[in-house]
A and B are shown apart, each in its own frame.
Chain A
Amino acid sequence: MQVKPYFTAALVAAFLVAPLQAETLSAQGIMEKMDAQQRDIADGNLSRSQLSTCKFGTSNKQISCAETPRVKVLESVSKQYGPNKKDSKGISILLEPASERGIGMLTYNYDDPSRDTESWLYLSALGNVKRMASGTGEDREPVSVFGSEFTTEDMENGNVDEYSYKILQEGPFNDREVWVIEALPKPERLMKTDYSKLLYWVDKERFTLLKAQTYDKRGKPFKQILFKDIENLNGFWIARDVTLINIQSQRLSNMKTEAVALNVTVEDEFLTQRTLTDFAYREKTLEALRQYFQ
């Protein structure tokens, strides 16, 4: 009976596995690398996106819209600033639906927690630029983005240090090798988040998300986010199709990036209030950037 050698081999194997794990990236390191990549993508970025929201029905795990989706189309430009590119400026113009066409929003986000987010809103009906009272955006309930299931919390990046991370599993997922990483909000984050836990499926080679799962404050599954149509554009991997499924409200939102230009030169002057009211200047600049659309 070859019991003793079997157990010895298992013990040796267990010890061998541990050192190998220590040489790979930590969960925190993976998330930081992914966050840095997202900031690089947002630095000099022009995109035209369609955001669709609907109630859904399920049949054999296949979900589909149970009503005509509400569609918003927007064009956005963003640029990162600061020594670590953690500050950002961005402008978004709503193109559809007709009732909201022309609404423009300019936002300045700062990594420094002592600096409030600054934002200005242009309403075409009023013809005026208004400074908004927004604070940091994180000291209040997460706000729905354009009435979709995405909240401001779902869209933000740069808060890597506010979570503790652990690798739960590694292996193949949808033909890609992934880490499954658990993120638990630290106490300061727990006060201003909708989520008690998040899980991320991170592509090991590309450091992109393939899937994310959030849990509500009672620990129940809340939202599932699927990332599809992942392409390499100018050396960056981006998901052009992101679907957020709210399991509790039975509603989903899909964001399709119809056209995107990465790593383009965006003049600092473009990310100012001028762009909200000087339409001739805005279109002149956007036309020059749109030629890089992919």
Chain B
Amino acid sequence: MNTYKTTLLVAALALQSSVITAEDFLGGGDFDFDSSEIETQAPHWTDGFKTTLAHNHTQVPGDINREQSSLQIEFERNLAEGWYLQLDSRYRYFWHEDDFAENRGDAYHNIKWQRASIQYSQGACTATLGRQGLIWGSVEGTFVTDIVTPFDYTEQLLTDYGTVRLHQDMLVGECFSGKAQLQAFYTPEAKNDIYQHHPLQITLAPGAPPLTLDADPDEEFGLRFKWHGSGFDLSLMAARLFDNTPTPVFLGPTSGFEAQLAQFNMLGAASSVAVGRLLIKAEAAYRSQQITPISGDKDSRADVALGFEFTTRTNHMLNGGIWAARFQDQQAKQQDFEVLTVGWRKTYLNDDLTMSLLGNRSSEPKFSMVTVLADYQWNDYLSTSFALTLADLNSTTPIPIAPAEESATLSIKYEF
């Protein structure tokens, strides 16, 4: 009888075991957080403003290369239904130790408008008028079709080419239809690469008077058709453009040298294909009417670039690209060049620390350069960055983005 009772008890307990748990998940003892201590802010019209205070210091062996402070004010706002305004102005002060100030003779200041545009959208189309940038192409660090927006070499290139672009006045129209987009632009007076805030001069031969590379471009216009499919983007471009860099041409013993800007037609294509964590990119372009230095002969040129972006399993972001340009005229073959670009980026410390690297190797002008940048965000407003650049400068031609073979840059930025 006792055995029977014991067996029955065990059986009953076993049957009820599914509703008896070792841990009581419904009990108290949880953490509690009162989220009301975190303030929320209602939208306000001043949200459209953004102010940035910054200071940059670049040291090269035995000298200060850059000592600049800046105040940037940006504003954007929806003005009315279908109308949008964007403004971006930057005041820069070049301290007397800065190389630009030394070349000019004293400290000076400069105001640059990067953006002053108004956008109107109606139906499937939009038009943007005013100061703005236009970036074509897909392969990072190469400029096969990305030549509409020139460079401002008074800005510093560390690991992001976006910081050295010079926006210009243009009208851009775009129409969208499903996966396709048609874009057209017109610039009445294009800008070209700005090297300094005073005319750049080069000496072509010992004893020869220096040549001022100062040539003003005229109007530019172009068209781009873009289509994106599943994992695939394709762009086709056609444009009439000016070269971004003047070419010295010898006009004869009487006239001497003159800086000329090539005006050419460009036909180009760019594409990117996403395969898992790999993005493969390619570009190709044909440019007519290129000017051969010294002789001034006209030539045509073909550019091609191949690149990739890859995100590793541990979220390292890698990118690379190779860009080659070939001139058709055999006499201009010495101008053929190749450029190799590699990059890396990774965030750490809850995204507060961003480490990045940019490497370049060019065959003409001949130079190699690598920059490592550490950017740390202290809070929502303050960030500092430190960069080290090493360059191997074999060419006698000055390289605007590489002032010396070794340089270190410290920047501090406050944004609100």
Partners in one complex: yes
Instruction: Answer whether residue B331 sits at the interface, using C-beta atoms and an 8 A cutoff.
Output: no
A57-74 vs B, CB cutoff 8 Å, 1 = contact: the mask equals 010011111001111010
Flag the segment in A24-32, A34-42, A92-100, A157-165 that touches B: A92-100
Partner of B76 from the list A17, A134, A178, A279 (CB cut-off 8 Å) is A279
Q: Do B231 and A116 touch across chains, with their CB atoms under 8 A apart?
A: yes
User: Which residues of chain B from 199 to 243 have a CB within 8 Å of any chain A CB?
Assistant: 228, 230-231, 233
Q: Do A133 and B26 touch across chains, with their CB atoms under 8 A apart?
A: no
Instruction: Answer whether residue B315 sits at the interface, using C-beta atoms and an 8 A cutoff.
Output: yes
User: Binding site of B, secondary structure by majority: helix, strand, loop or mixed?
Assistant: mixed
In the complex formed, the residue of B with least CB distance to A178 is: B26
Q: Do A132 and B313 touch across chains, with their CB atoms under 8 A apart?
A: no
Q: Do A61 and B30 touch across chains, with their CB atoms under 8 A apart?
A: yes
B2-17 vs A, CB cutoff 8 Å, 1 = contact: the mask equals 0001001101100110
In the assembled complex, the Cα of A278 lies from the Cα of B122 at a distance in Å of 11
Q: Do B9 and A169 touch across chains, with their CB atoms under 8 A apart?
A: no
User: Which residues of chain A from 63 to 90 have a CB within 8 Å of any chain B CB?
Assistant: 63-65, 68-71, 73
Chain A's interface size range is 35 or more
In the assembled complex, the Cα of A214 lies from the Cα of B276 at a distance in Å of 28
In the assembled complex, the Cα of A258 lies from the Cα of B5 at a distance in Å of 62
Given the complex, which residues of B lie within 8 Å of A220, measured CB to CB?
Answer: none
Partner of B274 from the list A50, A133, A168 (CB cut-off 8 Å) is A133
Q: Do B25 and A280 touch across chains, with their CB atoms under 8 A apart?
A: no
Instruction: Answer whether residue A209 sits at the interface, using C-beta atoms and an 8 A cutoff.
Output: no
Q: Do B380 and A280 touch across chains, with their CB atoms under 8 A apart?
A: no
In the complex formed, the residue of B with least CB distance to A226 is: B33
Number of interface residues of B (CB under 8 A): 79
Partner of B33 from the list A68, A139, A245, A258 (CB cut-off 8 Å) is A245
In the complex formed, the residue of A with least CB distance to B377 is: A99
User: Which residues of chain A from 134 to 161 have a CB within 8 Å of any chain B CB?
Assistant: 134-136, 139-141, 143-144, 146-148
Q: Do B84 and A144 touch across chains, with their CB atoms under 8 A apart?
A: no
In the complex formed, the residue of B with least CB distance to A54 is: B38
The residue in A4, A65, A143, A169 that gathers the most chain B C-beta atoms within 10 A of its C-beta is A169
The residue in B26, B35, B132 that gathers the most chain A C-beta atoms within 10 A of its C-beta is B35
In the assembled complex, the Cα of A146 lies from the Cα of B350 at a distance in Å of 9
Q: Do A135 and B311 touch across chains, with their CB atoms under 8 A apart?
A: yes
Q: Do B231 and A274 touch across chains, with their CB atoms under 8 A apart?
A: no
In the assembled complex, the Cα of A197 lies from the Cα of B84 at a distance in Å of 49
Given contacts A53-B350, A139-B277, contact A64 B76 (CB under 8 A): no
Q: Do B415 and A99 touch across chains, with their CB atoms under 8 A apart?
A: yes
A101 to chain B minimum Cβ distance, whole angstroms, is: 6
Given the complex, which residues of A lie within 8 Å of B279, measured CB to CB?
Answer: 131-133
Q: Do A11 and B351 touch across chains, with their CB atoms under 8 A apart?
A: no
Instruction: Answer whether residue B91 sits at the interface, using C-beta atoms and an 8 A cutoff.
Output: no
A73 to chain B minimum Cβ distance, whole angstroms, is: 8
Instruction: Answer whether residue A199 sits at the interface, using C-beta atoms and an 8 A cutoff.
Output: yes
A50 to chain B minimum Cβ distance, whole angstroms, is: 5
Instruction: Answer whether residue A284 sits at the interface, using C-beta atoms and an 8 A cutoff.
Output: yes
Partner of B82 from the list A99, A133, A284 (CB cut-off 8 Å) is A284
Given contacts A118-B230, A135-B311, A226-B33, contact A168 B272 (CB under 8 A): no
Nearest 8 Cβ contacts at the A-B interface: A147-B351, A280-B121, A133-B279, A14-B15, A283-B78, A280-B84, A97-B380, A281-B121
Q: Can you show 13 pairs from A to B with CB atoms below 8 A apart?
A: A62-B32, A101-B50, A116-B276, A127-B132, A131-B228, A131-B233, A143-B315, A243-B33, A245-B31, A254-B35, A272-B176, A274-B181, A280-B126
